[in-house]
Chain A
Amino acid sequence: MRGIPGSMQVLRPRTADEAVEAFAEHPLALPVAGGTDVMVLWNMGLLNDRPVLDLSAVAGWRGVRKAPGGLRVGALTTHAELRDHPEIRRSFPLLAQACAEVGSVQIQNRGTIGGNIANASPAGDTFPALAVYEAKVHARSRHGVRVIPFLDVFAGVKKTVLNQAELISAVELPFLPAKPHRTVFRKVGTRSAQAISKIVAAGLLWLGKGRAVSELRFALGSMAPTVRRLRAVEARVAGRKLGPALVATAVEDAARDVFPIDDIRSTAEYRLAVSRNILRSFLQA
């Protein structure tokens, strides 16, 4: 079965207000941004007869802007735009690196950050970076904007806490209080392009007096139904010096915040072992 174009009603709002009004009036409409997730399902004939809310013409939801204390990334901003954006590369380099690893050039040119988040795949490649940068998601409805801490957006595999009539309008990135001493981004997949991550990791580390850890933020994707911060590890190392014994214990702690599974792409054992290796080399560096 293929998608049947004639079965689809397309709504094409031009402004944010029009978009949320249209969504309120047509709660069953399927939002489409870059279409790189939606069109795959549609091509399989899985979405026929649905009204479509084509967001691609909404002015104001595209691009990166300065905001108080950080940057505001419009939901329609593409992975390619984020990958190349000078201010993103300077202040949020792990996000730029993540976007450079999404799919292929073709997917990066079309896929959006809002679509990546709303799709809520356990393997969303931007998620660990957004988790360590403590991004906030703007969910907009006709009643206004609800600001949701990034980790709270996800309710499970392919599930978000967005209400029926809410659309993601932007992602807020607060500037870091100080430049981290170490950063890491790693995507582990079968090959470099078009590979859904087996593991995706992002980390930030600040060292203080006597090189004791003042703060660690470390997040893993593809290791649980939703992206996870390694809270046990972060707490373990806080305020302490990263000696071999502490690193070994911290690496053990990694299992406490994730629930990896065996699936077609990898095994739980492999995922945990590789995550621990990434964490270990980051902490040891």
Chain B
Amino acid sequence: MKREASRAISFVVNGAERTYKGPAFKRLIDVLREDFGLTGTKEGCGEGECGACTVLLDGKPAASCLVPVSQVHGRKVETVESLARGESLNPLQRSFLEEAAAQCGICTPGILLTAWSWVKAGGSADPEAVRKHLSGNLCRCTGYQSIVDAVVKTVKKRRAA
């Protein structure tokens, strides 16, 4: 069995294989921001309450402030940087712009990823179901309505397409 304070930990970040060398108990959020320069992921509470640090771990929303990097070896991580292709925004991001669903923006990366997991999994356009799925993501600015509208709009567009 492996026992060490640090070792190489490899995982896929936004489609590319990355290797981290350093303390194995570093938080995933800190590895993404400090070691990989992916500062799109934001820290709010550091206690799992606010969802600002949400990333997709094997496609599912997880609070990266609560994940020791030792646990992501061999797994797949997606951050907000994975959504746009260069200057071209993904459909959910476009709806966020159109519905003015971001104000200060600190919650936005986490909300986009939680919402994207919903859209991708074929989640419904029922605003109540969307609210429930997003209930672990706090926003102090928008009052949520514009966010829910943006997600519902994206789901509907996808269905129509």
> Chain A residues in contact with chain B, CB under 8 A?
3, 5-6, 8-14, 18, 22, 32, 35-36, 39-40, 42-43, 52, 54, 56-57, 80, 103-107, 109-110, 192-194
On whether the beta carbons of B135 and A43 are closer than 8 Å, the reply is no
Taking the nearest CB of chain B, how far is it from the CB of A131, in angstroms? 26
Binding stretch for chain A, among B64-72, B81-89, B150-158: B64-72
A52-B25 in contact given A6-B5, A35-B66 (Cβ < 8 Å) = yes
CB-defined contacts of B48 to chain A, threshold 8 Å: 36, 39-40, 103, 106-107, 194
CB-defined contacts of A32 to chain B, threshold 8 Å: 68
Taking the nearest CB of chain A, how far is it from the CB of B114, in angstroms? 7
On whether the beta carbons of B135 and A192 are closer than 8 Å, the reply is yes
Taking the nearest CB of chain A, how far is it from the CB of B24, in angstroms? 4
Q: Mark B16-29, 1 if CB is under 8 A from A, else 0.
A: 00000011111100
Q: How far is the CA of A32 from the CA of B70 in the complex (A)?
A: 11
CB-defined contacts of A9 to chain B, threshold 8 Å: 3-5
Q: How far is the CA of A39 from the CA of B133 in the complex (A)?
A: 23
Taking the nearest CB of chain B, how far is it from the CB of A180, in angstroms? 27
- The residue from A18, A56, A57, A107 contacting B63, defined by CB atoms under 8 A apart: A107
- The residue from A5, A10, A109 contacting B4, defined by CB atoms under 8 A apart: A10
A109-B62 in contact given A8-B25, A10-B4, A13-B1 (Cβ < 8 Å) = yes
On whether the beta carbons of A105 and B136 are closer than 8 Å, the reply is yes
Q: How far is the CA of A52 from the CA of B5 in the complex (A)?
A: 10
Q: How many A-B residue pairs have CB under 8 A?
A: 114
- The residue from B23, B57, B66, B136 contacting A193, defined by CB atoms under 8 A apart: B136
Q: How far is the CA of A279 from the CA of B56 in the complex (A)?
A: 40
The 5 closest A-B CB pairs, nearest first, are A104-B136, A193-B135, A5-B23, A8-B25, A5-B26
- Which interface residue of A36, A57, A104, A106 has the most chain B CB atoms within 10 A? A106
Interface size class of chain B, counting residues whose CB lies under 8 Å from the partner chain? 35 or more
Residue in B closest to A11 when the chains form the complex, CB atoms: B3
Q: Does B79 contact A (CB under 8 A)?
A: no
Q: Does B60 contact A (CB under 8 A)?
A: yes
Q: How far is the CA of A52 from the CA of B24 in the complex (A)?
A: 10
Q: How far is the CA of A31 from the CA of B136 in the complex (A)?
A: 25
Task: Report 29 cross-chain contacts, Cβ distance below 8 Å, ordered by A residue.
Answer: A5-B22, A5-B24, A8-B5, A9-B5, A10-B3, A10-B4, A10-B70, A11-B1, A12-B1, A12-B3, A12-B24, A14-B1, A35-B67, A36-B48, A39-B66, A39-B67, A40-B48, A42-B25, A57-B73, A80-B60, A105-B133, A105-B135, A106-B62, A106-B136, A109-B60, A110-B57, A110-B62, A193-B132, A194-B136
On whether the beta carbons of A22 and B1 are closer than 8 Å, the reply is yes
A35-B23 in contact given A192-B135, A193-B135 (Cβ < 8 Å) = no
Residue in B closest to A51 when the chains form the complex, CB atoms: B3
Q: How far is the CA of A80 from the CA of B65 in the complex (A)?
A: 19
On whether the beta carbons of B66 and A40 are closer than 8 Å, the reply is yes
CB-defined contacts of B24 to chain A, threshold 8 Å: 5, 8, 10, 12
- The residue from A10, A52, A109 contacting B61, defined by CB atoms under 8 A apart: A109
A110-B67 in contact given A8-B23, A10-B4, A103-B48 (Cβ < 8 Å) = yes
Taking the nearest CB of chain A, how far is it from the CB of B61, in angstroms? 5
Q: Does B49 contact A (CB under 8 A)?
A: yes
CB-defined contacts of A43 to chain B, threshold 8 Å: 27, 46-47, 65-66
A110-B66 in contact given A9-B3, A12-B1, A22-B1 (Cβ < 8 Å) = yes
On whether the beta carbons of A109 and B57 are closer than 8 Å, the reply is yes
Taking the nearest CB of chain B, how far is it from the CB of A24, in angstroms? 13
CB-defined contacts of B137 to chain A, threshold 8 Å: 104
CB-defined contacts of B62 to chain A, threshold 8 Å: 106, 109-110
Q: How far is the CA of A20 from the CA of B151 in the complex (A)?
A: 46
CB-defined contacts of B54 to chain A, threshold 8 Å: 106
CB-defined contacts of A105 to chain B, threshold 8 Å: 60-61, 114, 117, 133, 135-136
